[in-house]
Structures are given as C-alpha cells and as structure tokens.
Structure 1
Amino acid sequence: MLLWHTLATWFRRRYGRRVQKIPLDARACCPNRDGTLSRTGCTFCNADGSGSGLGVLTLAEQWARWRDKYVATDGDRLFMAYLQAFSNTYGPADRLRRLLDEVKRLPGCMGIAVGTRADCLDDGKLALLAGCGLPEIWLELGLQSASDATLARINRGHDAACVAAAVRRAAAFGLPVCLHLMAGLPGEDEQAFLASLDWALDLPVAGLKLHNTYVPRGTVLAAQYAAGRYRPLARDEYVDLICAALPRIPSRIVLHRLQGDPAPGELLAPGWAAEKRGIITDIRRALAARGLWQGCRADVPDARPAWYGG
C-alpha cells in the first residue's frame, strides 16, 4: 500500500503504462561553475553536476545504452529523457532549441524533464520548452532551501525570490515544475526544512523532490565534513523528517523522489544514503505505524486516497 503520490502513479494514471526516465548528460555548464558566479559550484555538487558521467557520448548513444538495458528486462514501457547534469537551460536560447530538437529525434522518446537553475530561465526559454511538442514536459528546479542565509552558506548563487519568480513564470507558460528540496543542509534543522517546504507549497508547483543531504567525495561539503564542521542527518532523523513533511503536502503534488541517489563511488557519508530501497521501506513503515499519509493534514484528512495504489 502506497502512502504518497509517486511519479510512477502519475504516469500510470496518465498513460496506463510505466514511463521510464533516461538520464542524459547534454554537457551543459553552470554559471556557478564557469566563473560567472563562482568556480566552485554549490558546496554539495559533485564533479559531474549530479549527472550520469556519460557526457563523453552523444545523446543518441546515451539514450540507446539506457533504453536497450531497460527494454531487455521490460519492453512494455514508455521512455522520456531527463536532462540531469548541471544547468540545461544555461546559455543562449539557440543552444536550448538545438538540444530540444535533438531530444525529439531520439527513438521512442515521449517526454522530457529538464534540470536547471532558476537564474538560467527567461520567457524565451520557457516558451521553447512549452512549445517543444512532446506529450510530457517537466521543468526541474533546484530550490534546496527557502532560507537566503542557507543559500549563501551553500554557495547557491541566487536567492529564494529568484526561484519563486521562475516557478510563477513557468506556470504561466503551462509548464509543470518539480522543485528540489534538501533536508539536513549545513546550519539547518527540521524546523528550517519544514519552513522551506511550506514556502514551496505556496507556489504553483506540480511536483517535489525531497533529498537527504549526503557528502559526495571531492566537494566543498566533503572538506567541511572532514574538518568536523558538518554532520549529516542520521537515518532515523531523516525518516522522522519525511514523516513530518508528507502530511503537509496536498495529494495532487507528485513526489518524484524521497531520497538522494549517490552515484557509484561518490558517497563519503552517511553510509545509509546508499540504501535506497531500505530508506523507502523505513519511511513506509514509519508512516503506517503513525497513521500518516501524504496530505492527511492538508486536503485528504479522512483516509489515504485509493488511487495512490500499491
């Protein structure tokens, strides 16, 4: 029994089939990496910009590699592209136009999710995304925290107001936005995370990704951790935090992710962050034991919606 509105549920209700996202590295850059804002990036960002590390291949080659792997185990699914690494709308609009044209030519591609930063969007780029012609389009924006003090602490390079403006502009273009929030950022506690969540829920967002902050090797955060200046959340702390967060989130909002997903070999700490299935199991059990579900303190107080599935 599922106790939250998963992305898989969203896809099955919409298309009647499983939809598999394929991560693609479009060799994007970031103003927080190329010297426009800084050269170090956010303190938690790894060298691949949270990408697959396959940027040496063309998009078509990456697509074929992943798609062949998935088809071998289950051919009855649809596929969409996820431009994941770095800031995929950064740079001139012509670059984005060419990128979208390339994605639309990928065999069997029915949608696109575009990961980027709020300060790398304007109306021209939003119009390109909204008009790209694919059936499924998501704009994924990193908020991380609604606290400007925290955003400065993690060297984010923009403030929360920038994100709010980008979400509202995207919504005006009819683009569904998935906001990313991180729990356990340096200097933040549960109250700070929940305040950021409440702030995000006041915006016209269609989806959320909730991440536990983990320490990737070779990052500024790794140096802070080694120096004893950062302590990641314990596993039970993160589970408790998610149990506090989900009841506040209306049932219509799609939860794309409930945990971080370290790339192989990058995780320095905490060790539990690598146990993806175990964390989800812990969250499910804790919610059930406490009689909680997504939206139970928002729009669905009486019972878990049956359409959550599971």
Structure 2
Amino acid sequence: MDYDLKKRYGEKVYRIALDGGMTCPNRDGTIGSGGCIFCSANGSGDFAGSASCSVSEQLAHGKQLLKSKRPVHAYIAYFQAFTNTYAPVEYLEKIYMQAVSDPDVRILSIATRPDCLDEDILALLERINRIKPVWVELGLQTIHADTAAYIRRGYELPVFERAVNDLRARGIEVIVHTILCLPGETKQLMFETLDYLNHMDIQGIKLQLLHILKGTDLAVDYERQPFWSPSMEEYIELLGSCIIRLRPDLSIHRLTGDGPKDLLIAPLWTSRKREVLNTLHRYLKEQDLWQGKEYHE
C-alpha cells in the first residue's frame, strides 16, 4: 500500500485512526449482543482516537503525535472503531465532511459491515468520493459458513457480494479484511478465501493474524481449550504462501497487525512488529517469492 500511495501522492501517507462514536448491530441487539467472538471492547479500534473528541480534534491530535516523530504532510482519515456506517446518514455526513475538509487529509477510509450500507449511505459515500477518494473496508474474515457462524459474523456471503457490487457501481474502492488462522481453518480453507477474493472487484486486502485478546469470548474458548496459534516462523511461511497466490494488482494494506500489549494473550510475538516485518521481507527475498507468482486467472 505504501508504494501505491507514494506513486499517487509523491510522499508517504500516514493513517490516523478515528472513533466516530458508533456501535455495531452485532452488539446492540439488532443482530447480536456479544459482537464478533474476537472483538475487543473497543470494537477493533484499540488504537483509535477518543470519541469524546470531535473528528477535527482527533485528527489534530493524531497529526501532532506523528509530526513529533517525523515530517508528515499527508494523511488517511481512518474511521476504525466499531461499524462506521451504523448511524443516521445526517450524522455520518457531518463527521465524514469534518474529515475530508482537513486540507492534509488525502483519503477517507471507513471500516464497516457489508450489511450496513443502505441506499442513502451509498449515495453519501458517492458524493464524498467526488471530493476526495473514499475507501470502504469490509470485514469478511472468511468465506466459510461454519467459521463465520463460530465467529458470530452475522451475515451470509451474498450480503458481502452485494455490498462490493454496490460500492464499485459508485466508483468507491473496496478493501477486504480477512483473518488468518481462525480456529479450525486449514491452509487450504484460507487459500480458498483468497482465491475467492482474487475474482472479486476489490482493490485492496488486509491479511490479519488472529489475535486472542483479554475480555473477548475467543479468549474464554482459548483458556478453556487452547487451539493452535502459529509461531512467527509458521506465520511467515503461511504469509509467503498467501502473497504468491494474490492477484498482482491487489494492494496489500496489512500483513499481520499488532494487538494492544496489555490485552494480548496470544500470539505474543506479534507485539514485535518491526522484527516480524523484517523477517518476512528477508524470507520473501531468500525464497524468491513475490505477489502473484503463483496466481492464475
């Protein structure tokens, strides 16, 4: 992703994670009340800003933190916490416009569920996409119905497919969030999810290693009966196998992720993010692996 953005904007573009103050239909009783089985109390927004602050204030704070470490001029406003289209369209317009009105924001990125994109919201996203590029990140995780039921995803695959088609019909870029090493999923099942996505009209993908976090129902299952969680070496090898299968034009937005250290139960090695990425780059070079090497239409 960094390479693509540098080509597009002539410089590195940094993400600022935001909290729009929303919840999720999988938490408020509309679909369920416990959320997805792996989701922390912050709704995957553990590194996002505070919803007690306005979007403009969160952006200003994020800029200050980034600029204290390096010179930065360009940002992605990333609505990360919970389901970021799950609110009245008038409220969504207010917070999205606060984000894109910032002259340093290049892209509006919105993480959401595919079952939370009605016609009014799609029309809003289409309008904003004419002002600045809009990315919509859809949480798919897996294509397999048994796993989806276990993680309490709360929607079936045709809902995802319809969301992708609706967004692309409006010229909006789609990024898909997947989770590797979900309980019970073999390498072949993970590859089937990637092969399926290779044939979807999507522009980006996130490969997220499953994190077991304190306070989640997944943690309860893990403590009751521990399931397999890969070592760093096993995961690096798995990533190599995934990368060579991916369509060459897909932008890879994430390769592992890192959970909050105070919540992370397993795998603990993921907290050493720089070491993980350096090891991955070295492995790919040594094994002569690259994205799309074994991709076949």
Instruction: Report the TM-score range of the alignment, normalised by the length of the smaller protein.
Output: over 0.9
Equivalence for 1:175: 172
Paired residue total: 294
CA distance in 1 between counterparts of 2:112 and 2:106 reads 20
Gaps of 5+ in 1: 1-6, 300-310
1:104 equivalenced with 2:100 (yes/no): yes
Give the structure, 1 or 2, with the largest relative contact order (CA under 8 Å, sep 6 or more). 1
Q: Secondary structure at the match of 2:106?
A: strand
User: Are 1:90 and 2:86 matched, yes or no?
Assistant: yes
Worse overlay, 22-31 or 128-137: 128-137
Matched, 1:240 2:237: yes
User: 1:116 offset after TM fit, Å?
Assistant: 0.2
1:197 is paired with a residue of what secondary structure? helix
Cα offsets for 1:31-73 (capped at 9, x unmatched): 0010111110000000001112622222222111110122233
Structure-to-structure mapping, 1:209-288, within 5 angstroms: 209-288=206-285
Residue aligned with 2:13, SS = strand
Structure 1 position 160, deviation (Å): 1.9
Q: CA deviation at 1:213?
A: 0.3
Aligned residue runs from structure 1 range 1-150, under 5 A = 7-51=1-45, 52=48, 54-106=50-102, 108-132=104-128, 133-150=130-147
2:80·2:110 contact (CA, 8 Å) conserved in 1? Answer: yes
1:125-148 deviation line (CA, Å, top 9, x unaligned):
122112114433211111000011
CA offsets, 1:239-279, max 9 Å, x none? Answer: 12111111111221110010022124121111112121122
In structure 2, C-alpha distance between the alignment counterparts of 1:246 and 1:138, rounded to whole Å: 22
Runs of 4+ more than 4 Å apart: none
CA distance in 2, matches of 1:270, 1:160: 29
Deviations 1:217-257 (A, max 9, x none): 10000001110143322222211211111111122111001
Secondary structure in structure 2 of the residue aligned to 1:185: coil
Asked whether the 8 Å contact 2:73–2:104 carries over to 1, the reply is no
The reply to whether residue 152 of structure 1 matches residue 146 of structure 2 is: no
> Equivalent residue for 1:308?
none
TM-score by length of 2: 0.94
Is 1:163 aligned to residue 157 of structure 2?
A: no
The whole-number CA distance in structure 2 between the counterparts of 1:17 and 1:284 is: 22
Report if aligned partners of 1:111, 1:134 keep a CA contact under 8 Å in 2. no
Change in Cα spacing, 1:177 to 1:191, as seen in structure 2 (3 Å) is same
Residues 120-177 of structure 1 deviation map (CA, whole Å, 9 limit, x = unaligned): 0123212211211443321111100001111101011012221111111111111110
Between 1:162-171 and 1:232-241, the stretch displaced more is 232-241
Q: For 1:80 and 1:21, how far apart are their aligned partners in 2?
A: 5
Distance 1:158 1:270 in 2: 28
- Which amino acid in 1 is paired with 2:213? P
Letter in 1 for 2:290: W
Q: Do the aligned partners of 2:100 and 2:132 also contact (CA within 8 Å) in 1?
A: no
Alpha-carbon distance between aligned partners in 1 of 2:88 and 2:52, rounded to the nearest angstrom: 22
Query: For the aligned residues, what is the CA RMSD?
Result: 1.7
TM-score (norm 1): 0.90
SS class of match (1:18) = coil
Letter in 2 for 1:227: R
